[in-house]
């Protein structure tokens, strides 16, 4: 099998794609290690699907080279590449049965006896009883599994997944995320997964590349990206971040001290994406769930050495596991704070004066010379 061969990485070298004068993908170097679950994450139009299609061979790159292992496949048409795709909305052949859909790739490669393989593959995705049905007789989740089976049966070196769960409802999507992860672990094939859903990318992938405007903004393990975003786009697109514009007061012994309005905040120098210079600007970020919230009357309880801010609650919404507060503070008019639903303080209602505090270690710093709202999901843009 090709998939067990050493050096089966997917390597993109200087690859780019232009449509007329529009540059969909800027020259890009990317290596997807063999056997990994790799996610390309970004909003629609960020170039992630184009990148995927260039790996599949469905799109010719304007410049650059695609390597599968050591082999240059840039000039190969899709039907000669050991790569298969699970398409968005599946693209199951409506005129063929499930059985024939799954057998399609094997038959095209001239394999005569496909019965055993197709049967096994349908069992793997738990659709053995549906072999003789047509795609339109299956539910969305079942169609999705057929699409996976149809691609996997060919034992591709790389499986490409283009928004494979986009058409499913939330509950089914969760279920299929785990299912796909299980299959990937079982077969050990490299998965390259394109999605706009940050939660999906983080749940499933070993490595996530966040794309924006045809470029990879940051690449890393999900936790690494989440805890240590390097750009405002990543900070905002992956979860929610409170970003505060601040001035650097001093840098010493790995600690950076900054001031914003009436507050003084500290953060570790090694969590700054840009080298802070005294007197310069910096964006200070902290995740909403890292922040603790206290009514102003109890401000004295807060131990020294924690970052603290004051403010007024402007909105709160109770969502079961937690309560989400929006706080108007002198440093930022809409700080978000998520409070675990353990013991609820009934005084924390809109209008109440509060103190926010958190461990300085949980603070990160970003270059101030970028759009502070980049990557924030706005109404209407949020894809389901």
Residues engaged in binding another protein (CB under 8 A): 5, 7, 13, 56-58, 60, 65, 67, 69-72, 74-75, 77-80, 83-85, 87-89, 91-95, 104-105, 108-109, 132-134, 137, 150-151, 154
Q: How far is the CB of 156 from another protein (least distance, A)?
A: 9
- Kindly tell me which of 161 and 210 has the beta carbon lying closer to another protein: 161
- Kindly tell me which of 94 and 351 has the beta carbon lying closer to another protein: 94
- Kindly tell me which of 19 and 318 has the beta carbon lying closer to another protein: 19
- Kindly tell me which of 193 and 357 has the beta carbon lying closer to another protein: 193
Q: How far is the CB of 132 from another protein (least distance, A)?
A: 8
Q: How far is the CB of 56 from another protein (least distance, A)?
A: 6
- Kindly tell me which of 149 and 291 has the beta carbon lying closer to another protein: 149
Q: How far is the CB of 203 from another protein (least distance, A)?
A: 25
How far is CA 48 from its chain centroid? 11
- Kindly tell me which of 97 and 324 has the beta carbon lying closer to another protein: 97
Q: How far is the CB of 257 from another protein (least distance, A)?
A: 49
- Kindly tell me which of 72 and 123 has the beta carbon lying closer to another protein: 72
For residues 354 and 56, what is the distance between their CA atoms, to the nearest angstrom? 54
Q: How far is the CB of 208 from another protein (least distance, A)?
A: 24
Pick from 183, 144, 179: nearest CA to 165: 144
Q: How far is the CB of 248 from another protein (least distance, A)?
A: 44
- Kindly tell me which of 143 and 198 has the beta carbon lying closer to another protein: 143
Q: How far is the CB of 136 from another protein (least distance, A)?
A: 9
């Amino acid at each position: 099998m090709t998939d067990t061969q050493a050096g089966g990485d997917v390597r993109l070298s200087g690859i780019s794609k232009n449509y007329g004068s529009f540059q969909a993908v800027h020259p890009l170097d990317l290596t997807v290690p063999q056997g990994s679950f790799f996610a390309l994450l970004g909003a629609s139009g960020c170039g992630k699907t184009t990148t995927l299609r260039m790996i599949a061979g469905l799109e010719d790159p304007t410049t650059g080279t695609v390597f599968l292992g050591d082999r240059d496949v840039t000039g190969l048409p899709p039907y000669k590449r050991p790569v298969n795709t699970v398409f968005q909305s599946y693209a199951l052949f409506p005129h063929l049965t499930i059985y024939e859909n799954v057998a399609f790739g094997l038959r095209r490669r001239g394999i005569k006896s496909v019965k055993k393989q197709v049967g096994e593959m349908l069992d793997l995705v738990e659709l053995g009883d549906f072999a003789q049905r047509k795609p339109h007789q299956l539910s969305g989740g079942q169609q999705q599994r057929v699409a996976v089976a149809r691609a996997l049966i060919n034992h591709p070196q790389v499986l490409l997944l283009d928004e494979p769960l986009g058409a499913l409802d939330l509950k089914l999507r969760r279920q299929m995320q785990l299912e796909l992860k299980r299959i990937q672990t079982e077969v050990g094939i490299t998965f390259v997964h394109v999605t706009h859903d940050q939660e999906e990318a983080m749940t499933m992938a070993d490595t996530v590349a966040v794309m924006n405007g045809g470029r990879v903004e940051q690449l890393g393990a999900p936790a690494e990206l989440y805890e240590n975003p390097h750009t405002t786009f990543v900070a905002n697109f992956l979860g929610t971040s409170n970003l505060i514009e601040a001035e650097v007061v001093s840098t010493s012994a790995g600690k950076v001290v900054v001031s914003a309005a009436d507050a003084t905040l500290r953060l570790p120098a090694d969590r700054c994406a840009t080298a802070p210079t005294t007197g310069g600007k910096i964006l200070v970020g902290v995740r909403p769930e890292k922040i603790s919230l206290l009514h102003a009357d109890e401000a004295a309880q807060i131990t020294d050495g924690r970052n603290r801010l004051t403010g007024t609650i402007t909105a709160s919404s109770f969502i079961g596991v937690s309560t989400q507060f929006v706080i108007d503070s002198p440093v930022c008019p809409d700080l978000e704070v998520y409070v675990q639903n353990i013991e609820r303080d009934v005084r924390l209602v809109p209008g109440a004066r509060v103190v926010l505090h958190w461990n300085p270690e949980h603070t990160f710093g970003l270059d101030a010379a970028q759009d502070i709202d980049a990557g924030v999901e706005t109404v209407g843009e949020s894809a389901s």
